[in-house]
Amino acid sequence: MKILHLDTNHELLINQLNNLGFTNHEDYTSSKQDIEAKISEYDGIILRSRFSIDKQFLDAATNLKFIGRVGAGLENIDCDYAISKGIELIAAPEGNRNAVGEHALGMLLSLFNKLNKADQEVKNGKWQREANRGIELDGRTVGIIGYGNMGKAFAKKLRGFDVEVLCYDIKDGVGDANAKQVALNEFQEKVEVVSLHTPQTPLTLSMVNSEFINGFKKPFWFINTARGKSVVTKDLVSALKSGKILGAGLDVLEYEKASFEDMFTSIMPEPFQYLITSENVLLTPHIAGWTVESKEKLAQTIVDKIKAKFC
């Protein structure tokens, strides 16, 4: 079987697939049109998020048996059409879930203790202790939206704190010893921290909007390490201005390109300008699952799943 690699990944991925008897070709620079012209030669493709895999591309891929996504989400692939053509879809949420859980916790603790603000002030010669008095996580109710691989990893990180953890998910029966599953009305009534861990789907696009935010009884802290397009940024900014949202840790943004590889290519809208000047907003460039360890684990997960299915 011939596999075409469209993005660079950990070297173990190609090395182990070679050892399993697969023929591996790499093309990290050709245009989508050029890839489409030769994709019929391949049984599998492996990518991160270089470009979308749409119907036209899939129709050209006449011998394709699988698509391996070295990451968690599959929103850049027309999944229904691929499945209808008998193509196996392989993702690796197990590979970076721990990294995401740690990042979400780090963002939350940084916001609570004003670490980013205090760091910048000290570096600028300011020593303001009272202005940087933090708050503690213990005793609070943390809510997780989306209780799959990522949500469960974050809940596991919270076990060392004296907190109540609630989760909300469209699937029934996903709660466990680390989080109690509740209905949305109970979730919105009780939580003081909201951490988003949902995939990008038609149901989650623009899910966090003014109506959703205003449904919460208490002001809350908001963490998003999932997908930027699940949040209406202007509504988030309005909630930050009103105090309904007390602070936000955002690893992903509505304005990202589909490839997640770039964002600063045009004039950014007004809501983003507010985010970058706010002391109670912490921003990172879509790196929650982007650790040295997760790079290896993501690649290994893909290899293991290909081996289980095709060897």
85-136 pLDDT, tens digit each: 999 999 999 999 999 999 999 999 999 999 999 999 999 999 999 999 999 9
What percentage of the chain exceeds 90 in pLDDT? Answer: 93
Query: In this predicted structure, what is the pLDDT of residue 221?
Result: 98
What class does CATH assign to 97-283? alpha beta
Query: In this predicted structure, what is the pLDDT of residue 100?
Result: 98
- Given the residues 50, 97, 140, 227, select the one marked as catalytic: 227
Structure tokens at 82: 């691929």
Tell whether the model's pLDDT for residue 37 goes beyond 70: yes
Query: In this predicted structure, what is the pLDDT of residue 88?
Result: 97
Query: In this predicted structure, what is the pLDDT of residue 200?
Result: 93
Tell whether the model's pLDDT for residue 259 goes beyond 70: no
Query: In this predicted structure, what is the pLDDT of residue 265?
Result: 63
Tell whether the model's pLDDT for residue 18 goes beyond 80: yes
Q: What confidence tens digit (pLDDT) does each residue in 186-217 have? A: 999 999 999 999 999 999 999 999 999 999 99
Q: Which CATH code for domain 2-91? A: 3.40.50.720
Q: What is the pTM of this model?
A: 0.93
Distance separating alpha carbons of residues 290 and 32, to the nearest angstrom: 25
Query: In this predicted structure, what is the pLDDT of residue 132?
Result: 97
Distance separating alpha carbons of residues 212 and 148, to the nearest angstrom: 21
Query: In this predicted structure, what is the pLDDT of residue 236?
Result: 98
| Cβ-proximal residues to 238 (8 Å cutoff; 6+ apart), any chain | 210
CA nearest to 224, candidates 247, 257, 191, 201: 247
Query: In this predicted structure, what is the pLDDT of residue 269?
Result: 87
Distance separating alpha carbons of residues 215 and 244, to the nearest angstrom: 10
Split at pLDDT 50, 70, 90, the class of 238 is very high
Query: In this predicted structure, what is the pLDDT of residue 173?
Result: 97
Instruction: Reply yes or no on whether 256 is catalytic.
Output: yes
Query: In this predicted structure, what is the pLDDT of residue 116?
Result: 95
Tell whether the model's pLDDT for residue 80 goes beyond 80: yes
Structure tokens at 306: 């290909």
Split at pLDDT 50, 70, 90, the class of 43 is very high
Mean pLDDT for the stretch of residues 275-288 = 96
Query: In this predicted structure, what is the pLDDT of residue 50?
Result: 87
- Enumerate the domain spans of the chain: 2-91, 97-283
Check for a shared fold between 2-91 and 97-283.
yes
Tell whether the model's pLDDT for residue 261 goes beyond 70: no
- Given the residues 256, 261, 293, 296, select the one marked as catalytic: 256
Distances (CA, A) of 105 to 2, 101, 193, 225, 259: 41, 6, 11, 10, 25
Instruction: Reply yes or no on whether 133 is catalytic.
Output: no
Report CA 228 to chain centroid distance, whole Å. 8
Q: What confidence tens digit (pLDDT) does each residue in 133-188 have? A: 999 999 999 999 999 999 999 999 999 999 999 999 999 999 999 999 999 999 99
